């Protein structure tokens, strides 16, 4: 906080010019429970991704082959920078592939 | 129905993470999917409320679409102005005539049921091509859980406390879609994100229709409803399964229930997950059940057939 921008440098009307700039603010420290996805159990149904309020579940084009031999095109990963640990994903997961574990920092 | 499935939801996020909506916030889920359904060619006028303050903390914003914060009461009026400005720009050749830019107004229940009702009524009356989205968390949550016209019977709020004389809210929730319907709008619908494909179908239809359209979105609130954050979606689903919330649409005067519930669950299952109803006695739960029964009867009468069935109790 060396120098705050003054009225001369701010855009008129204090308009925010950068869309989605809230990504600079990490909400990870709100979390007391951390969701962990078991990639073996996950069936890629997209429900956790759909109901994440942040969004803090990433849908990645990252192929994954389970031990059963089944290959999935996408992988779901938690974005721990933004996850607030609400636990909706673990509650809604139909195959119980997500567990909430205590956050240790 | 359209063949929209959960797999057809676009991957691109138009609401950025890092916003300060609560853990497990229902309104955050509403906004995320609303933007996905609308796409990028929108200009939003957002009334004061939870979502407004938590997504636009200066100098940052969570929105990836043009977005204007307006006062509590005039989201509908500003959206009307946006629509008129887009029209004028097209007339002057500043914007291609084929380009479709949708003006969208978003308000909470306080900004719609109470404070913004006059502006909303004006917008509907003038027939602007605007989509108005009400996210209903059933009280003024942002300022500290004060009751609004959207607060249901017996709900605890800080201005309808529970004690010897008061048992929480003693008035019934206003029928906002009924009020909107009375203006003769082309499209009005109630949506619940627990039924996500229905949510998308309705938002897309509302955005495509010329003229004013209204979306009433169910939006659970963790601190205000006093429920566990992980139960947000479960509560939303129970609201429909108990008949407390009915997913329906009114398209050019034709009423249609989009999520039929052949067998309802007792309303108690919905109430007991929420701390705002924790004080309810057996008699009061029965009163709520009777009220829901009446509402369901009204819906069935509008539909002309039994779409929401009787309560089935697990013995």
Q: What is the pLDDT of residues B209-243, one digit of tens each?
A: 999 999 999 999 999 999 999 999 999 999 999 99
| Subunit contact B18:A14, Cβ cutoff 8 A | no
Q: Work out the end-to-end distance of chain A between its first and last CA atoms, rounded to an integer number of angstroms.
A: 26
Has residue B310 been placed in a domain?
no
Residue B44 lies in a domain: yes
Strand ranges for chain A from DSSP E: 33-37, 57-60, 64-65, 71-72, 75-78, 98-102
ipTM of the complex: 0.93
Query: What contacts A10, CB < 8 A, 6 or more positions away?
Result: none
Specify the pLDDT at position B315.
60
Cβ distance B202 to B218 under 8 Å?
Answer: no
Is residue B309 domain-resident? no
pLDDT for B312: 85
pLDDT at A3: 80
What's the fold here for domain A37-102? Alpha-Beta Plaits (3.30.70)
pLDDT-derived band at A2 (thresholds 50, 70, 90) equals low
Angle of CA points B109, B135, A22, to nearest 5°: 115
Chain A residues with CB inside 8 Å of B15's CB? 55
Domain count, chain B: 1
**Residue carrying the six token digits 């007339």:** B91
Instruction: Report the C-alpha gap between B40 and B104 in whole angstroms.
Output: 12
Using one digit for the tens of pLDDT, what is the confidence trace for B44-53? 999 999 999 9
Q: Is there a contact between A53 and B13 if contact means CB atoms under 8 Å apart?
A: no
Q: Which candidate, B81, B133, B83, B144, places its Cα nearest to that of B105?
A: B133
Residues of B with CB under 8 A from a CB of A: 6-7, 9, 11, 13, 15-26, 28-29, 32-33, 55-65, 193, 196, 222, 228-234
For residue B87, the domain's CATH number is: 3.40.50.970
- Residues of chain A with Cβ-Cβ distance to B64 below 8 Å are 19-20
Q: Return the CA Rg of chain B.
A: 19
Category of B15 on φ-ψ map: left (φ > 0), alpha (ψ -120 to 50) or beta: beta
pLDDT at B148 over 80: yes
Q: In whole angstroms, what is the distance from residue B40 CA to residue B5 CA?
A: 21
Which whole number is the average pLDDT over B118-124? Answer: 96
Report, as an integer, the average pLDDT of B299-310. Answer: 94
pLDDT of residue B117 exceeding 90, the answer is yes
Interface mutation target, options B59, B65, B69, B199, chain A, most CBs of A under 10 Å: B59
Q: How far is CA B91 from CA A25, B87, B145, in A?
A: 41, 6, 45
| Residue B313 maps to a domain | no
Q: Alpha carbon of A3 to those of A10, A26, B266: distances in Å? A: 13, 22, 59
**Quick one: average pLDDT of A65-76?**
94
Q: How confident is the model at residue B187 (pLDDT cuts 50, 70, 90)?
A: very high
User: B18–A19: do the CB atoms touch at under 8 Å?
Assistant: no
- How many CA atoms are closer than 13 Å to the CA of B266, on its beta-carbon side? 11
Residue B248 confidence (pLDDT): 97
Instruction: Give residue B58's pLDDT.
Output: 87
Residue B258 tokens, joined: 């989009």
Residues of A in contact with B55 (CB under 8 A): 22
- Distance from the Cα of B63 to chain A's closest Cα (Å) equals 5
- Mean pLDDT computed over every residue of chain B: 95
A1: confidence class by pLDDT, cuts 50, 70, 90:
low
Give mean pLDDT, residues B191-219. Answer: 96
Containing structural domain, residue B123: 6-303
Task: Specify the DSSP class assigned to residue B252.
Answer: T
| Per-residue pLDDT at A92 exceeds 60 | yes
Instruction: Classify residue B1: in a domain, yes or no.
Output: no
Whether B245 is in a domain gets the answer: yes
Task: Report the alpha-carbon angle A19-B50-B75, nearest 5.
Answer: 75
Residue B146 counted as domain residue: yes
Window A:29-58, CB contacts with B under 8 Å: 30, 45-47, 50-56
Instruction: Give the gap in angstroms from C-alpha B159 to the nearest C-alpha of chain A.
Output: 27
Amino acid B252: pLDDT: 92
pLDDT of residue B2: 55
pLDDT value for A73: 95
Pair B19, A22: CB distance under 8 Å: yes
């Amino acid at each position: 906080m060396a120098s705050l921008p003054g009225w001369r440098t701010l855009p008129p009307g204090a308009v925010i010019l950068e869309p989605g700039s809230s990504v600079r603010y990490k909400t990870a420290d709100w979390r007391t429970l951390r969701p962990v996805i078991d990639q073996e159990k996950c069936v890629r149904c997209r429900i956790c991704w759909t109901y994440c309020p942040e969004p803090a579940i990433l849908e990645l084009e990252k192929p994954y082959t389970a031990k059963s031999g089944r290959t999935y095109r996408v992988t779901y990963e938690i974005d721990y920078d933004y996850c607030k640990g609400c636990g909706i994903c673990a509650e809604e997961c139909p195959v119980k592939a997500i567990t909430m574990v205590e956050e240790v920092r | 129905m359209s063949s929209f499935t959960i797999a057809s939801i676009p991957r691109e996020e138009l609401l950025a993470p890092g916003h300060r909506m609560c853990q497990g916030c229902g309104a955050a889920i509403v906004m995320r999917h609303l933007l996905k359904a609308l796409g990028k060619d929108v200009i939003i006028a957002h009334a004061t409320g939870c979502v407004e303050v938590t997504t636009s903390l200066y100098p940052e914003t969570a929105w990836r679409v043009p977005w204007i914060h307006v006062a509590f009461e005039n989201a509908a009026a500003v959206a009307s102005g946006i629509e008129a400005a887009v029209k004028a720009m097209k007339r002057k050749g500043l914007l291609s005539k084929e380009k479709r830019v949708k003006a969208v107004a978003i308000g909470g229940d306080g900004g719609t049921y109470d404070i913004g009702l006059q502006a909303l009524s004006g917008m509907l009356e003038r027939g602007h091509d605007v989509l108005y989205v009400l996210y209903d968390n059933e009280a003024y949550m942002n300022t500290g859980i004060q009751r609004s016209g959207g607060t249901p019977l017996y709900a605890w709020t800080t201005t309808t406390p529970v004690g010897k004389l008061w048992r929480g809210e003693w008035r019934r929730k206003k029928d906002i879609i009924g009020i909107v319907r009375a203006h003769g709008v082309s499209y009005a619908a109630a949506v619940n994100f627990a039924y996500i494909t229905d949510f998308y179908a309705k938002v897309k239809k509302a955005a495509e229709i010329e003229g004013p359209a209204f979306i009433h979105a169910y939006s659970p609130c963790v601190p205000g409803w006093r429920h566990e954050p992980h139960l947000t979606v479960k509560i939303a689903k129970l609201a429909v399964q108990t008949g407390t919330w009915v997913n329906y649409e009114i398209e050019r005067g034709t009423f249609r229930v989009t999520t039929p519930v052949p067998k309802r669950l007792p309303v108690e299952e919905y109430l007991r997950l929420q701390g705002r109803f924790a004080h309810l006695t057996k008699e009061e739960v029965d009163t709520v059940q009777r009220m829901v029964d009446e509402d369901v009867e009204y819906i069935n009468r509008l539909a002309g057939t039994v779409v929401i069935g009787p309560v089935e109790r697990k013995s």
